[in-house]
Structure 1
Amino acid sequence: MRALRAGTRTLDLNRRIAVMAIVNRTPDSFYDRGATYALDAAVAAGTAAFDAGADLVDVGGVKFAPGPPVPVEEECARVIPVVEALAPHGLVSVDTFHPEVAVAAMAAGAAVINDTTGLHDPRMADVVAAGNAALVIAHSLAAPRTQHPLPHYDDVVADVLAFLRDRVALATAHGVPEDRIIVDPGHDLNKNTRQTLELTRRLGEFQELDLPLLVALSNKDFIGETLDRERGDRLPGSLAAAAWCVAHGARLVRVHNVRETVDAMRMIEAIEGWREPVYELHNTRPEGND
């Protein structure tokens, strides 16, 4: 797996699982219901995420779910101050499908642009190519903020792979280097629970793309429907799904519960032999300490 360039940083994801924390500066986010909509709350949440060990913080000003359009000016007013406040502390990503917002975000210090519409607007590839940010290309089917009821796939993995191959080719044709591209199969995005479970089960097939693989599955409905758990009670399922995905090739995980996920990912890294324990005392002294 090649190293990922994001802004002025290079992430070696061969021996590192990057945790991307979610900060939604929206009044109607699906998980926190607007808890970080206020500017000070959003900045505090991002700072706390970095303190808890997040490698990146992903800031969003418009949720993916269907709804009325949010003007570009309003989206910029929501996300740009957060980017400016957080960029000195670590890698900041901006979740947007508007090229104009991406331009402003990169100028403010964003190192990653996360397009959950998979380059629905090809101009996004142009603006990212002109900057130095990494680009997340996620799979989804619907036009931005619209419904896609009863999604059908002949083979969900084959169809998503074909989509991602096509959009990666589009991005590179527009000048985005491959070492600045991340792919996301889009858990639950225009997919029902059975389709998302199959996507997860066969995640290893996405390694053929030879690009860093991001999974955004934290607290999503496929977990709730699988376990019969409400939105606030999906952490164990989220951690299990994240661990499965990492074992099958994912190298970035986008999450709400940062501290718990960081611990889980660092534990996987230690088991793999990619990192050393912070300290060693157990059974290292002649007197024993069982």
Structure 2
Amino acid sequence: MKFRNKTLSLNSPQVMGILNVTPDSFSDGGKFNHMDAALAQAEQMVKDGATILDIGGESTRPGAEDVPEALELQRVIPIIEALSTRFDVVLSIDTSKAVVMREAVVAGADLINDVCALQLEGALQVAAETDAAICLMHMQGQPRTMQLSPEYENVIQDVKAFLQQRMQACIDSGISKDRLIIDPGFGFGKTLQHNCDLLAGISRFHDLRAPVLVGVSRKSMFGALLGRDVNERLVPSVVAAVLAAQQGAAILRVHDVKETVDALKLLSITQR
């Protein structure tokens, strides 16, 4: 797949390392919100096998507060500029704000990763004006309230219908389909059962004919299912990533890059 001036084969699962330059993200908030720490973490993830780095300046955890545009820019643009000169990997901007998307691409981002699927004001137009790849994610509700009482008639069919509609909106705006990636949005307006149904049904998204990104790393579903604290979710996170890869997920968005890469290497020898 083309990511601006970079090409990355999605014939085998690629690992996207999460780099939250925020003080309040649910798992790693405050760890990497200074330049030196962020660069060191990025370097380690690249060494561990990440081919994509996803930089986020606003937490989207349940109950998260909105971050002003200027503050988000202040958080993400310097690190994207620095990373673009240091590493030959795909850089992703995790944002829903049109201005942040535009400035991040100018700074060197190759992928726009939007939990709101380009629904906020100006986002679709800005994305269409760039040459970046785009990840459209499904979310029911907004981060502050999305986990209050999510309901679906059929979670897989409903999520697929939404993603198909957003893909068509992109195409109608002049964005070629080969720039699009889809994400069912684990934990974003979903109950534990919804998340489990989605994990079991990843293969059913392939008829949308777009690469599927799966992000289940350290999610609260593992706390609810297994009683594990956020810092005790390595094993279920890696197992879930492997289950997604077995069903054809193209990109795995993770905190624990090394362990996920190792697991995928083991998976690959069983699929030769």
Task: Say whether 1:236 aligns with 2:235.
Answer: yes
The residue number in structure 2 matching 1:61 is 57
**Post-superposition offset of 1:122:** 5.8
Q: Which of 65, 70, 75 in structure 1 is aligned with 2:72?
A: 75
For the pair 1:172 / 2:171, whether they are aligned, the reply is: yes
In the alignment, which residue of structure 1 is the partner of 2:34? 38
Letter of the structure 2 residue corresponding to residue 223 of structure 1 = F
The match for 2:81 among 70, 81, 84 is: 84
CA distance in 1, matches of 2:144, 2:174: 29
Name the residue aligned to 2:21: 25
TM-score (normalizing by structure 2): 0.95
SS at match of 1:13: coil
Q: Report the Cα offset of residue 45 of structure 1.
A: 0.8
Q: What is the SS of the residue equivalent to 1:249?
A: coil
Q: Distance in 1 between matches of 2:66 and 2:115?
A: 15
Distance 1:5 1:129 in 2: 15
1:138-149 maps to which residues of 2 (within 5 A)? 138-143=137-142, 145-148=143-146, 149=148
Distance 2:137 2:49 in 1: 24
Q: Distance in 2 between matches of 1:67 and 1:56?
A: 25
Match of 1:7 in 2: 4
Within 5 Å, give how 1:203-242 maps onto structure 2: 203-242=202-241
Preserved contact between residue 117 and residue 137 of structure 1 (Cα < 8 Å): yes
Give how far 1:268 is off.
Answer: 2.1
Q: Which residues of structure 2 form unaligned runs of 5+? A: none
Distance 1:98 1:183 in 2: 18
Q: How many residues align?
A: 268
CA deviations 1:241-282 (Å, max 9, x no partner) are 111111112110000001111111222233323xxxxxxxxx
- Residues 140 and 190 in structure 2, CA contact (< 8 A), matched pair in contact too: no
Distance 1:122-1:211 versus aligned 2 partners, 3 A rule = farther
Identical counterparts, % of pairs: 35
In 1: Cα distance, 2:226 partner to 2:17 partner: 23
Please say if residues 137 and 183 of structure 1, whose CA atoms lie closer than 8 Å, have aligned partners that are also in contact: yes
Secondary structure at the aligned position of 2:145 is classed as coil
Q: Does the 8 Å contact 2:21/2:29 carry over to 1?
A: no
Structure having the higher Rg:
1
Separation in 2, partners of 1:52, 1:214: 19
Distance, in Å, in 1 between the alignment partners of 2:119 and 2:185 is 14
Does the residue aligned with 2:270 lie in a helix, a strand or coil? helix
Checking the alignment, whether the CA contact within 8 Å between 2:20 and 2:29 is kept in structure 1 is no
Are 1:159 and 2:154 an aligned pair?
A: no
Deviations 1:132-185 (A, max 9, x none): 211010000224x43131100000001000000000101111111111110000
Query: Which residue number corresponds to residue 279 of structure 1?
Result: none
Partner Cα separation in structure 2 for residue 169 and residue 45 of structure 1: 36
- RMSD after superposition: 1.2
| Counterpart code for 1:265 | L
TM normalised by structure 1 equals 0.89
1:8/1:132 contact within 8 Å kept: no
User: Which runs of structure 1 show a deviation greater than 3 angstroms over 4 or more consecutive aligned residues?
Assistant: none
